[in-house]
Amino acid sequence: MNNLTKLLLIVLIFFCFYSCKDKETPIGELEEISIDLKNNSNTYNEEDWLTVTNKLNEVENELEKYKPEYTDEELEKIGYLKGVCATYLFKQNLKTTSRQIHDAIIMLKGSLNGVFETVKEDSTYWNL
């Protein structure tokens, strides 16, 4: 075997092992996501949250494929991991909503100030 053939064989074997999935794969991926959320979610930016959400959707699709094969213990573990992930997603959604409400209140305050200043400064405003 020449070097090119050996390299191609190694790459082929690598991709075979890498792409082979079983029912444990999505559980492991879900566990990795939950650990990452626990350890790093405080530093996530919008792109990170979008990536995590997409990964969770992909894992959910994989979990559905194997759902009939899971034992009660595996289903419980999946539920637990989903709960962990949902908690961090909820916290982020709450922070985002809180920020949006804050911004809306500040904008409303500015709008009201603009209206009151305009009415106060324009003595002809009420002349209809």
- Contact call for residues 85 and 36 (beta carbons, < 8 A): no
Burial class (CB in 10 A: 0-12, 13-18, 19+), 81: buried
Distance CA 48, CA 29 (A): 16
| Number of C-beta neighbours around residue 57 at 10 A | 10
For residue 52, what pLDDT is reported?
Answer: 96
Rg from Cα positions in the chain:
27
Dihedral class, residue 70 (left if φ above 0, else alpha if ψ from -120 to 50, else beta): beta
User: What are the 10-residue block averages of pLDDT along the chain, 128 residues in total?
Assistant: 59 54 92 96 94 96 95 97 96 93 96 92 84
